[in-house]
Structure 1
Amino acid sequence: MATRRQSLILTVLLAMPVLVVAGLLYVMSGVTDQRAEAERERAAAARVEDARRAAGAAAMGPRVVRPETLEQGVVLIVLDKSGRSNADEPIYFASSLSAWNPRDNRFKLGSRSDMRWQLHLRVPAGTEQVQFKFTRGSWDRCEVSADLSDIENRSLPEVDVSMLQPGEPPRIELAIERWSDERPSAGAVEDPVYGPIKATGTVKRLQVSGGAGSASGATRDVLVWLPPGYEDPAYAGKVYPVLYLMDGQNVFQKHSKIPAEWGADETARGLITGGQCEPFLIVAVPSLGASRMEEYLPAPALEGVTPAGDRFVEWLVTQVKPRVERAFRTDPRPERTAIGGASLGGAIALHAATRRPDIFGLALVESLPLTAGDAAAWKTWQSGLTSWPGRLFLGVGGREFEPDATDRNQALVQAVRDLHAQVTASGVDASRVRLVVGDQDRHDESAWARRLPEALRFLFPSPEGVPGK
């Protein structure tokens, strides 16, 4: 009897671990079932919420906005159909945000595993419309159409944000058809600064060293256009007024990187030979690619760019102008020395003429970027302008931005009008400052070329056209 009882107790003891494990498994399966049920309930609730949000959005209709207005930015997903972009030659977003720098690392796209490229683009507040093109780090490797022809500047399409979560950036998918270096002629590299000069009249090269910012150790050739009669022995003792023009590679001839040219050589020659202007020299000072923004920026108005405008003006005054005066017969007086440019080139021209009116007494200022980037920084810079050149020509187009960017176009024209009013309010005689608004003019060399004759007649009038002479 005792033996049977002991066997029963032993059996119970041996079975207890199995019973405990079975019990635990039963309890755990119940908990798992409860968790699964909770997950199913949460998923169902999420589907209901998504459906409710979608229904609400559908009821409200799409909410279409410009990507530039979104604080969270926008994600660009780009397909390179040619397959030429790679780790060594990535894609860059060259745009009005970076003054068209083709290799700004702030706007370098990253590669994706699906063979596409991506950029999370955030636009500074107050920017109304961004224009852009894609490059592979150089304007020699710029996107073109499928037939290898040039394309117009792109703008970001409007997006529907009604279905987005708060703070979620919309995605925009874009495609690059081909690149300019796929053209048969791409092997023949065109150099607008050091290549052959195709100009009307005589153009001389003059090498100068230095610059500002990252170009402080550079060497470049300025291009000097000589007026009719300059080399005639009969005028060997004559000295001439001078116009220094920025972005000098675009002044005398068109090249593949720009849609048109200033045509300053043809225009000046026609005005001089026609008796509408006195003879004068043109000194075209080329910009140096990525250093352009630094050299031409007089105020901290563009994100990621350190202004070197003051140093650039000093370089013009202490290096370029003396070099030109040693090589050519120029009149060094400020009332006989003009400086000009367009866009950022116009900004640095105005900066030079107002900071050093003792050097530059005449200024030709086109398409000032007073609403680009940080408008407040431009306003601060503008409010600090108190000294003015003896003659100031201001030009601006009524369609500097995209034709449908009405507000932005009007804002820029008004900003230039305000500058004109600032000049005249300071006591400058109205006859010494001229504002020309080309209602249909865009932000390009064609527009600046159209306004150039009036600017030159204003700055360098023939003696017969000057009151009192």
Structure 2
Amino acid sequence: MRSKIYILLLLLCIAFNAAAQFTLQIEITATPSAHKQDGVFVAGSFNKWNPGDSMYRFHNENGKLVAIIKGLAADTYRFKFTRGSWQKVQSTNTGKDVDNQLLQLSADTTVSYTIDGWLDDYALPQKHQASTNVHVLDTAFFIPQLNRIRRIWIYLPHGYNQTKKHYPVMYLQDGQNLFDEVTSAYGEEWGVDECLDSIIAKGKQGCIVVGIDNGADTRMSEYNPYEFTWKDSTQSKTFLPEGNAYLDFLTQTLKPFIDKKYRTLTAKENTIIAGASMGGLIAYYAALKYPEVYGKAGVFSPAFWTAPEIKQLTDSVGKKVSSKFFFYCGGKESENMVEDMNEVAEKLGGNSHAMIYTAIDTEGRHDEKAWRKWFADFYVWMMADGYNNVIKLEQ
């Protein structure tokens, strides 16, 4: 009887902790001497990284800036400070980027920070970073399935124009963050072009990369096949599912266009889809929905928490899948991200004939810097000599 009571109390405690909501008080004790009249905001994983959200503006209290965020669940949160836009984000005292602040919240908490600099005080004329192998294919490519337009990038491997060789194709989400710091949403790019230039120069297999810009305000809908409600301490918003229409665009409109315009290898073994966060979710879903089209998938830091139905789908369609999957997640992302990714990867491994590579970086954060670090490993494994032989990247 005592053991039953103990188990019941334990379950009640777990349920209470899962449902508990906490208050986070952030204090800024020092800021640069310039721009004292400007408002300061906190942007993070609790407010969709909105750099100028009035609900997250600091107020002055006894000589320090204070922001109080209520109703947060126990989790790992990431955030930065801005003066209302990402061009005016915090920096070091020499103008260098700073990593996201990282906080594990499990109780009412007060934390203090200082801001050493503002990026716009050190900003030089912006110089584009994309290599000469990157071009904008179209600034307004029409998406008939969604009645929208989108910028599309193309990376052609070195030597493409001097040969008649055909190449595999990779379709990468969040195109504005792939090649150029100037266009990247957070000032940090994946460095896909530099990475591939280096690998190809060492004699490895080249690849065409198609980067598709996200739709900004429509990103959460376009990259999710399921309805999802975002909740934070002050508001909630429901995103209607547009993932199926977006995938139909990639599969029925964009891929045929690319295959016709460029010298591509069109078979599933030579068609890769990849992305990070919500982009990782839609890349994984694409490989499940269209296993005859996308034979390889790069699933970086997937936002499976926005689509719990993906686990049931993995169970139901896994037996039809025999593709290659690269799963990556960082240990310093949100609390359940590694667990969610591992659960999906294990389900896929148990229900399919898929070839799976899982990587967990204990120091990895949810940002372009982490995905850039692991892109080479992902690419070399996907481009392995033969389907089962892994080629190690030369150091």
Identify which of 144, 156, 160 aligns with 1:230: 160
Aligned match of 2:192: 264
User: How far 1:268 moved relative to its partner?
Assistant: 2.8
Are 2:70 and 1:122 equivalent residues in the alignment? yes
CA distance in structure 2 between the partners assigned to 1:174 and 1:441 by the alignment? 22
Distance apart, 1:138 and its partner CA: 2.6
Q: How far did residue 365 of structure 1 move?
A: 0.9
User: Are 2:43 and 1:94 equivalent residues in the alignment?
Assistant: yes
Per the alignment, do residues 74 and 337 of structure 1 end up closer, same or farther by CA in structure 2, a change over 3 Å counting? same
Matches within 5 A, 1:186-335: 188=125, 190=126, 196=128, 198-199=130-131, 202-207=133-138, 208-210=140-142, 217-220=148-151, 222-232=152-162, 234-235=163-164, 238-255=165-182, 258=186, 260-277=188-205, 279-299=206-226, 300=228, 302-303=230-231, 304=237, 306=239, 307-335=241-269
- Percent of aligned pairs sharing the same letter: 24
User: For 1:160-199, what aligned pairs fall within 5 Å after superposition?
Assistant: 176=115, 178-185=117-124, 188=125, 190=126, 196=128, 198-199=130-131
* Residue type at the aligned position of 1:282: V
Q: CA RMSD in A?
A: 4.0
Deviation at 1:78, TM superposition (A): 5.9
Alpha-carbon separation, structure 2, partners of 1:120 and 1:270: 47
Q: Which residue of 2 aligns with 1:444?
A: 367
What does residue 433 of structure 1 align with? 356
User: Which amino acid in the other structure matches residue 43 of structure 2?
Assistant: A
| Pick aligned residue for 1:133 from 69, 75, 80 | 80
Distance 2:299 2:212 in 1: 15
The 1:152/1:229 distance shift into structure 2, 3 A limit, reads closer
- Give the secondary-structure state (helix, strand or coil) at the position aligned to 1:122: strand
User: 1:266-312: CA deviations, max 9, x gaps?
Assistant: 433444454443x3211122234444334334441633251433332
Secondary structure of 1:231's aligned partner: helix
Counterparts of 1:205 and 1:128 in 2: how far apart (Å)?
Answer: 39
1:130 is paired with a residue whose SS is: strand
Question: Which residue does the alignment assign to 2:23?
Answer: 73
User: Which amino acid in 1 is paired with 2:340?
Assistant: A
CA distance in 2, matches of 1:112, 1:447: 35
- Equivalent position SS for 1:267: helix
Higher strand share: 2
How far has the Cα of 1:259 moved from its partner? 6.8
Higher radius of gyration, 1 or 2: 1
CA deviations 1:56-81 (Å, max 9, x no partner) are: xxxxxxxxxxxx99625345566894
Matches within 5 A, 1:352-431: 352-370=286-304, 375=305, 378-385=307-314, 386-387=316-317, 390-401=322-333, 408=335, 411-429=336-354
Partner residue, 1:456: 379
* Rounded Cα–Cα distance in structure 1 between residues aligned with 2:225 and 2:39: 31
Which amino acid letter does the alignment assign opposite residue 246 of structure 1?
A: Q
Call closer, same or farther: CA 1:369–1:99 in 2, change over 3 Å: farther
**CA offset at residue 95 of structure 1?**
0.9
Question: Which amino acid in 2 is paired with 1:96?
Answer: S
Size of the aligned set, in residue pairs, is 361
The 3 A distance-change label for structure 1 pair 282 and 123 is: farther
Kept after mapping to 2: 8 A contact 1:247/1:284: yes
Q: Is the 8 A contact 1:99 1:293 kept in 2?
A: no
User: Whole-Å Cα distance in 1 between the matches of residues 261 and 356 of structure 2?
Assistant: 31
CA, structure 1 residues 83+71, in 2 after alignment: closer, same or farther (shift >3 Å)? Answer: farther
Check the 8 A contact 2:56/2:69 in 1, yes or no.
no
